[in-house]
Chains A and B, each alone.
Chain A
């Protein structure tokens, strides 16, 4: 492969950084929303359902990003 190792690793690192930034911002927004809805008297059951959805989305994001990372690294290095 003639793509340099630096550019390959650069793409992967940027990808991980972007993912981290998005998850951090999403987490912050969810925390704000939880606080706001709690002050409006939201039920615990609904909060739990919402949190489960948040976790699912984050886990999906992390897993698919790692899948891309793993497959492309395997192809590049092997």
Chain B
């Protein structure tokens, strides 16, 4: 239990309490490429299920039992896929990575499921590391930003747009401090 008090980052629910002299420097969310696999699944299932629902009108004449079975299956599938996709999209849109002149926040929300906040005190960061592997990450300018408190302890932000700008800003603030 004592580790929470000594850890340079804290995890807790709800929104942070902002100090009077604290000001916003950067605010971002994950890069849009994170949603591409999700969108591909949605783009595959949505028209497929709609097509199946439409197709049941033709099937109804030849085999009404099979047609109602297909309609029911397609309706359930499209409802689940629709809400699953938008749940993920809305959750991603509610997730925030915030850098202020004193702290860094990582607010993660999954609608009705998860509501968490990681808080990093900038003073305790020893080193900042940026990594961008692959052509896509270089072309679209996103990657990982690791804030290290010790040799092997730290926090990594994935799919962060322009991580080098964030790293430069954090380093400059650490040097000033």
Contacts and interface: CB of A to CB of B under 8 A. Distances in A.
- Chain B interface SS verdict (over half): helix
A3 B50 contact: no
Contact of B18 (A2, A7, A36): A36
A2 B65 contact: yes
Interface in B27-69: 27, 46, 50, 53-54, 56-57, 60, 64-65, 67-68
Contacts of B76: 11
A57 B16 CA distance: 25
A65 B40 CA distance: 18
Interface in A46-65: 46, 53-54, 57, 60-61, 64-65
Contacts of B78: 68, 72
Given A3-B71, A37-B24, A65 B82 contact: yes
Nearest to A25: B111
Nearest to B90: A26
Given A40-B24, A68-B50, A3 B86 contact: no
Interface of B: 15-16, 18, 22-24, 27, 46, 50, 53-54, 56-57, 60, 64-65, 67-68, 71-72, 75-76, 78-79, 82-83, 86-87, 89-90, 93-94, 96, 98, 100, 107, 109, 111-112
Given A1-B64, A26-B93, A78-B57, 4 more contacts: A37-B27, A57-B93, A60-B86, A75-B56
